[in-house]
Structure 1
Amino acid sequence: MTTTIPVRLGERSYDVLVGPGVRKSLAGVIRRLGARRAAVVSARPPEWVPDTGVETLLLAARDGEPDKRLSTVEDLCGEFARFGLTRSDVVVSCGGGTTTDVVGLAAALYHRGVAVVHLPTSLLAQVDASVGGKTAVNLPAGKNLAGAYWQPSAVLCDTDYLSTLPRREVLNGLGEIARCHFIGAPDLRGRSLPEQIAASVTLKASVVERDERDTGLRHRLNYGHTLGHALEIATDFALRHGEAVAIGTVFAGRLAGALGRIDEAGVAEHLEVVRHYGLPTALPAGVEPAVLLRQMHRDKKAITGLAFVLSGPRGAELVSDVPEAVVTRVLGEMPRKPLAELIGGQPGGVPATDAAPA
C-alpha cells in the first residue's frame, strides 16, 4: 500500500510517496519533469537504484558525517559539469540522511538550482532528512552551518529499503520518530513502521507548509536537537544522530520541568517514550557539561543566548535566553553511562517494517 503525502508550497509543491516499491516511480517522475539527463548520487549498490528512463551518470557516495562537507559538494558539482548536466535536467540522491543533505545542497548550488529527487534508503532519511528542503553540510565549527533551502521535486520513501538495515540504523531513525510525540504527532507507539513514517512525514509537511524558512513554527522540528547536535560533535559522531536526539529529548523534558513549563508527569513521559523505542536516555560518561554548553551556544537557534525547543502550556515552542546555570544544573542531574552502553540501544523497541527484502 502506498501513502501519498503532499507538501503544499505553491509552485514548489511536491509529493512524498511512502510504501513498498515506490522507488520504481522514479522514471515517471523524471519524465514529468522533462529532464533528458540524470545524475544519480548513490551511497548504495547499483542494483538499489531504479531505472531513470534517461541518460544517466551514476556517482558513488558514502553515507556518514566525514563526507558531509563543502569539498564533497564541490566534487559533485564538478562531475555534473563534466557530464553536461543542464538546469533542465535532474539530480537524484539514493542513500541516507547525509547523502540527502549533501546531494540536495549540490543541486541547490549547481547552475543556481537544478531539480532534485530523493530516494532515502535509511529510516532517518525517510522520516526527516529527505523532506522539507533543508540542505546543509558541516563545518569544523559545528553541524549544518553551511546550507540552503532547496525543495525536492519528489521524495520516494521505499519501505523495501528498510528491510536491509541493521538494527542500530533503524534505531537511528526511531530517535526522530520518538521526538514527534512532543511536537504534535499522535501517539505512534504500537503502530507499524510504515504508519509511523507516514505520520512523521505528514507532521513535518504540515509544519513546513506554514514555515518553510524556519522563522518560527518550524523550530519545533528541532526538538531534542540542540543537545543532540552537541553530543554528536562531543563524541566525534560515535553517537548517531537519532541516538543523540533521543538523549536530547529526555534532556528537553527535564529542562522544561526545571523551568516550570511542564509537571513531573510531563518530564516522566519524555523518558517513557524514548525508552519505549529502545533508545538511550543517559549522557555519555566523560563528556563535560562545559563542552556541551560551548557547542550549544553555536546552535543556529542561539541568537542572544542558549535556546531550546521545549514543551509547555502552548505545546512545543522555542524558548530563548535560557539561563546557563539552569542548563548546567540539569545536565549535571542527568544519569551517565559509558558510551559503549549507549550506542545500539536497548533490547526491544524496533517495530516491524512490514517490508520484503529489496
Structure 2
Amino acid sequence: MTDTAGAAEGTRVDVELGERAYPVHIGPGVRALLPGVIAALGARRAVVVSARPPGLLPGTGVPTLTLTARDGEAHKTPGHVASLCREFAQYGLTRADVVVSCGGGTTTDTVGLAAALYHRGVAVVHLPTTLLAQVDASVGGKTAVNLPEGKNLMGAYWQPRAVLCDTGFLRTLPAEEWANGYGELARCHFIGAGELRGLPVHEQIAASVRLKAAVVAADERDTGRRHLLNYGHTLGHALETATGFAVRHGEGVAIGTVFAGLLARALGRVDSARAREHREVVRHYGLPDRLPPGVDVAGLVTLMRRDKKAAASCHGLTFVLDGPRGPEVVPGVPEETVARVLGTMRAETAVRHPVPADPTTARGSRAP
C-alpha cells in the first residue's frame, strides 16, 4: 500500500494487489479524474449507474449509457443485478468497456456484482457519494446482494480499477447518512486505524482506506486477516435483517461494536475500561449503543449462525473480538454467553445520542 498527496488527485492510496492493484483518490473534486481513468483503461464505451443527478457527474470521454441507480437495501437483490446485466447487454457493452457506479454503499455493492458477472467480468470504477461508501464499501472488491435469509449471502470478489472518493459529494448528505458512515469509523478505532475522533473528515476517510488497503493486500479473499474488518458486523448484519433494514448498516455496526466490547469483557479478553471505551467511541459519533426495542435475542442468535465466519467453528458462534493481542477471530463462543450479553443491551425505547444537524462543522469532522 502506497500513499501520496497532490492537489489534482487528492490523497492517493494504492491498494497493492499485483496486476489487480488500483488507486483510491480522496479529496474535493477528484471526480474530475474519471475521463482520464477511463481513457487509461482503453474502454470504448461506458455504462454509468448513478444515484446522483447527471449534472453532478463528470463526462466519461466515451459514448455512455446512464442508468438511475436503485439505492437502498431493498433493491440490493439478485433481480436488480439481472436487470442491470440486461441493460448492459442491450447497450452492447463488452468486456473491453467499463461500468461506473456512483452512489452509496448499496450501489457500489450491486453495480460491482453486476460488473463481476456480466461477461464473467467487466471493468468497474466506483464514485462513492456517501461517507459509508467512501470509508468502506467502495474499497476492497467485495460485491454482494441480499437474500431473504440474510445480508450479503450472494456475491463475488471483483476489484475496481479505481475509486474516486470525491468529498464534495458529502456536502449534501443528511444527518442520517453521516451517522451511517460514522458506524464504520467507530469500529476502525478498534482494528488499528488509531484515534480518528476530532480529525477532518477527509483525514478520517484516508485513515480508514489506508487500513483497509493494507488488510486487503494481505488477505484479499477473507481467509484470515481480512475478517478483522468485520468488527461489529456479525451482530450488525443480524440487526439489519431482523428489523427489515430499519436499522441501517452503520447503526448496526455501531451497536455491534459496543456488543463486541461487552462480549470480550464477558470472556475475560479485555477489562471493563476497554469495554467502556467501545461505548464511548460509539456515543461520540452520535450512534445508538443498545438493541432497538422489540428485537428478539433468540432470533438474532439464529441469524448470527449464518455469518460467513461461522464455518471457522463447529460449536458456538464466531466473532471478531478485542483482546490482549489486539482484535482477532474468536471461534466457539457459547450461544448462552452471547444471549446473556445481548440481554444486557436491551432498550425499552430507542436510544440515540445527539447527531449535529451539520456534522461537517462539529466534532472536528469538517467537510472540505
TM-score (structure 2 length as normaliser): 0.94
SS of equivalent residue, structure 2 residue 310: coil
Shift of 1:13: 0.2
What residue number does 1:225 align with? 233
Q: 1:332 aligns with which of 321, 343, 350?
A: 343
What residue number does 1:116 align with? 124
Alignment of 1:57 onto 2:58: no
Equivalent AA in structure 1 for residue 60 of structure 2: T
Equivalent AA in structure 2 for residue 201 of structure 1: V
Shift of 1:335: 4.0
Equivalent AA in structure 2 for residue 217 of structure 1: R
Mapped to 2, the partners of 1:99 and 1:120 lie a distance apart of 8
Contact 1:307–1:322 at 8 Å: present in 2 too?
yes
Mapped to 2, the partners of 1:212 and 1:337 lie a distance apart of 41
What residue number does 2:3 align with? none
Mapped to 2, the partners of 1:61 and 1:153 lie a distance apart of 20
What residue number does 2:49 align with? 41
Q: 2:304 aligns with which of 289, 292, 296?
A: 296
Equivalent AA in structure 2 for residue 290 of structure 1: A
Mapped to 2, the partners of 1:20 and 1:5 lie a distance apart of 15
What residue number does 2:331 align with? 320
Mapped to 2, the partners of 1:206 and 1:133 lie a distance apart of 13
Mapped to 2, the partners of 1:184 and 1:337 lie a distance apart of 34
Mapped to 2, the partners of 1:35 and 1:315 lie a distance apart of 44
Q: 1:234 aligns with which of 234, 239, 242?
A: 242
TM-score (structure 1 length as normaliser): 0.96
- For residues 355 and 272 of structure 1, do their structure 2 counterparts lie closer, same or farther at Cα, with a shift above 3 Å needed? closer
Alignment of 1:153 onto 2:161: yes
SS of equivalent residue, structure 2 residue 164: strand
Shift of 1:347: 3.7
Identical aligned residues as a percent? 68
What residue number does 1:68 align with? 76
Alignment of 1:311 onto 2:322: yes
Contact 2:179–2:355 at 8 Å: present in 1 too?
no
Task: Provide the aligned length of Structure 1 versus Structure 2.
Answer: 353
Mapped to 2, the partners of 1:89 and 1:331 lie a distance apart of 48
Q: Deviations over 1:282-316 (max 9, x none)?
A: 11111111111111111111113411100011111
Shift of 1:48: 2.0
Q: Which structure 2 residue ranges, 5 or more long, are not aligned?
A: 1-6
Mapped to 2, the partners of 1:48 and 1:143 lie a distance apart of 31
Shift of 1:186: 1.2
Mapped to 2, the partners of 1:178 and 1:67 lie a distance apart of 26
Equivalent AA in structure 2 for residue 350 of structure 1: P
Mapped to 2, the partners of 1:109 and 1:239 lie a distance apart of 29
Shift of 1:355: 4.0
Mapped to 1, the partners of 2:73 and 2:178 lie a distance apart of 17
- For residues 351 and 269 of structure 1, do their structure 2 counterparts lie closer, same or farther at Cα, with a shift above 3 Å needed? farther
Shift of 1:350: 3.4
Q: 1:271 aligns with which of 267, 270, 279?
A: 279
Mapped to 1, the partners of 2:301 and 2:138 lie a distance apart of 29
SS of equivalent residue, structure 1 residue 307: strand
What residue number does 1:10 align with? 18
Q: Deviations over 1:73-109 (max 9, x none)?
A: 1000101011111101000000000000000000000
What residue number does 2:4 align with? none
- For residues 347 and 106 of structure 1, do their structure 2 counterparts lie closer, same or farther at Cα, with a shift above 3 Å needed? closer
Contact 1:127–1:176 at 8 Å: present in 2 too?
yes
What residue number does 2:359 align with? 350
What residue number does 1:27 align with? 35
Mapped to 2, the partners of 1:315 and 1:28 lie a distance apart of 41
SS of equivalent residue, structure 1 residue 336: coil
Shift of 1:254: 0.0
Shift of 1:259: 0.2
Mapped to 2, the partners of 1:216 and 1:337 lie a distance apart of 38
Contact 1:223–1:249 at 8 Å: present in 2 too?
yes
- For residues 118 and 337 of structure 1, do their structure 2 counterparts lie closer, same or farther at Cα, with a shift above 3 Å needed? farther
What residue number does 1:81 align with? 89
Contact 1:283–1:336 at 8 Å: present in 2 too?
yes
Equivalent AA in structure 2 for residue 336 of structure 1: A
Q: Deviations over 1:200-223 (max 9, x none)?
A: 000000000000000000000000
Mapped to 2, the partners of 1:208 and 1:259 lie a distance apart of 29
Contact 2:175–2:355 at 8 Å: present in 1 too?
no
Mapped to 1, the partners of 2:342 and 2:97 lie a distance apart of 49
What residue number does 1:286 align with? 294
Q: Which structure 1 residue ranges, 5 or more long, are not aligned?
A: none
Contact 1:190–1:351 at 8 Å: present in 2 too?
no
Alignment of 1:189 onto 2:197: yes
Q: Deviations over 1:99-127 (max 9, x none)?
A: 00000000000111000000000000001
Shift of 1:338: 2.5
